[in-house]
Amino acid sequence: MYVIAGATGRVGSATAKNLLDAGAEVRVLVRRPQDAGTWEARGAQASVVVLEDRAALGEALTGSTGFFALLPFDLGADDPEAHADALIASIAGAVADQRVPHVVVLSSGGADLAEGTGPIDGLYRLEQALHATGAKVTALRSGHFQEKVADVIDVARQEGVYPVFAASADQPIPMVATQDLGAVAAQALLSPPASSEAVDIVGPSYSEREVAKILGDALGRELHVATLPEEAWADALQDAGFRPHVAASLAELYRADERGLLLPRGDRSVRVSTPLETTIGKMLGS
């Protein structure tokens, strides 16, 4: 039995679907009762659980062979770090309580660093806490998600602008489709490694200018690429509606990316190949 957190999200749902397609027994974790029926119709078990509830999570993990875990970021929390730490304590505690043998965790490039990476700091703490449980841990560390383009589709469509929080829009960046991450996560659960490892997931590379061209073509309009200087990031994020402490954390994340702190440094790497055109087409329903 494989237990999948975040089953209503992109990576969790792709992981669960790949496992079901492989004929595996799957128990998905959902936050809302109405989401359970969809998964049960596909042949999965479903448990309505919030990850903050250690006891309920532990019950859902009973008898599991492997667990797909993640750390949801709550950018609306008054104290995002405290919120992350509460989740980490619950997740790791439940894994330890149930002696789950193998955990595949959705992590990120930069999660080997204890600080200086904005919200990714929490993934460092999650990886460390899971290692302390005695479980075998497979940390999937990806870079940029291709689906991040969804954040700018509205402004691109309405204003013809593609904003870039970086000094240059011409630096190629590996970008991973979440459907590929789900496939890798499912395979990792089905074929656990001999020992814990960090796996870098590397997708096709695109510069932000190339991303803007692909998105513009899909939208049927030319997009102006607007690079924002570092000193403007926090203010721009606040103007976009983020609270000051969240804007500061995200700005730190962008700085970490600029300085190479999020580059692959895992034990091995897996290359995936879904092109950005495919991902954008799906997001736009084309």
Segment 86-133, tens digit of pLDDT: 999 999 999 999 999 999 999 999 999 999 999 999 999 999 999 999
Please give the pLDDT value at position 226.
Answer: 93
Share of the chain above pLDDT 90, in %: 85
Q: To the nearest whole number, what is the mean pLDDT of the chain?
A: 94
Neighbours of 54 (CB within 10 A): 18
Torsion region of 74: left, alpha or beta (phi above 0 gives left; psi -120 to 50 gives alpha): beta
The DSSP symbol for 4 reads E
239 pLDDT band (50/70/90 cuts)? confident
Beta bridge mates, 173: 206
Indicate the length of the chain as a whole number.
286
Averaged pLDDT for residues 122-145: 97
Q: C-alpha distances in angstroms, 104 versus 21, 249, 268, 277?
A: 18, 26, 15, 28
Which stretches within the chain are classed as H helix?
10-21, 33-41, 54-60, 80-98, 121-131, 153-159, 178-190, 208-219, 233-239, 244-258, 276-284
CA distance 203 to 48: 33
Two tokens, residue 152: 């700018």
Report the run of H or E that residue 226 belongs to, with start and end.
Answer: strand 224-227
Is the pLDDT at 73 greater than 90? The verdict is no
d(CA 39, CA 214) in angstroms, rounded, equals 33
Between CA 185 and CA 11 the distance in angstroms is 9
What does DSSP assign to residue 269?
A: E
pLDDT at 224: 95
Is pLDDT at 286 greater than 80 in this prediction? no
Residue 278 confidence class, pLDDT cut points 50, 70, 90? very high
Using CA atoms, how far apart are residues 15 and 7, in angstroms rounded to an integer? 8
The answer to whether the CB of 218 falls within 8 A of the CB of 281 is yes
pLDDT value for 240: 81
Average the pLDDT over 182-209 and give the result.
97
**What is the Cα–Cα distance from 271 to 261, expressed in whole angstroms?**
20
Q: What is the pLDDT of residue 163?
A: 93
pTM beyond cutoff 0.85: yes
CATH number corresponding to 2-284: 3.40.50.720
| Residue 223 or 75, more confident | 223
pLDDT at 78: 84
pLDDT at 149: 94
* CA 271 distance to own-chain centroid: 17
